[in-house]
Structure 1
């Protein structure tokens, strides 16, 4: 009886070792691919950054943009009829232009969601 239990235990241990080895091998492959593509992406981003002459905005530029937005928000909150009149005066071409901007923004957001979830539809249920 004891020999049978030991034989069964050693078989289970061997199977567990094989499964663990496969998991380790798969995770090692994914890790090396992730590191490689991360480095490639970083180098590509550096090249684009240099060639396009991109620079991040400085603090003063951030402050000026948000100060203007805050000022506009305060102005329109004091005179909401002015905002309504401006919205009513929009022409068809303006609506199409701003609508297309909205669709583009929604598309980029949706693409980011798909990339983040690594699925086209829905989240995993845990």
Structure 2
């Protein structure tokens, strides 16, 4: 009986120590991420939009949605749009950002950098 209790105690101690280690790592990386975000926020001069900016944006949006002339003007402007080098580079940078966010999401979802975790029997017929 004492062997079962000692095994259970060892298992419980192992689970507790691994949980504590995971919590400590999570707290550490959360603090690092928060400090990094705060630094970027301050250096870039970010600020939430004002109420006036919200009102102007939504008034323009509703005006656009209500007016077929505005929609037709918009479509005609962008039919003749020819991107220059600067806008192509900007689109490329946005594409790289999107690919990076996608890759990070995949890594988080798989919990591995390469491949997918193997569950159950690995031979497929």
Interval of TM-score (by shorter of Structure 1 and Structure 2): 0.5 to 0.7
2:82 aligns to what?
A: 91
Gaps of 5+ in 2: 120-125
- Write the distance in 2 (CA, Å) between the matches of 1:70 and 1:116: 39
Deviation readout 1:7-45 (Å, 9 max, x if unpaired): 3xx323322221221111111011111112222222233
Higher helix content, 1 or 2: 1
Deviations 1:66-124 (A, max 9, x none): 3223322333xx256545433432225499468547634632551453365245678xx
Provide closer, same or farther for how the CA distance between residues 87 and 97 of structure 1 changes in structure 2, counting only shifts above 3 A: farther
CA shift in 2, pair 1:50/1:106, >3 Å: closer
> Aligned residue pairs: how many?
115
Q: Gapped runs of 5+ residues in structure 1?
A: 1-6
Equivalence map 1:38-57=2 (5 Å): 38-57=30-49
Q: Call closer, same or farther: CA 1:49–1:28 in 2, change over 3 Å.
A: same
Pick aligned residue for 2:59 from 60, 67, 77 = 67
Which residue of the partner structure matches residue 3 of structure 1?
Answer: none
Structure index of larger Rg: 1
TM-score by length of 1: 0.61
CA distance in 1, matches of 2:39, 2:90: 32
Cα deviation per residue 1:47-72 (whole Å; 9 max; x = unaligned)?
33333332221222122223223322
TM-score (norm 2): 0.61
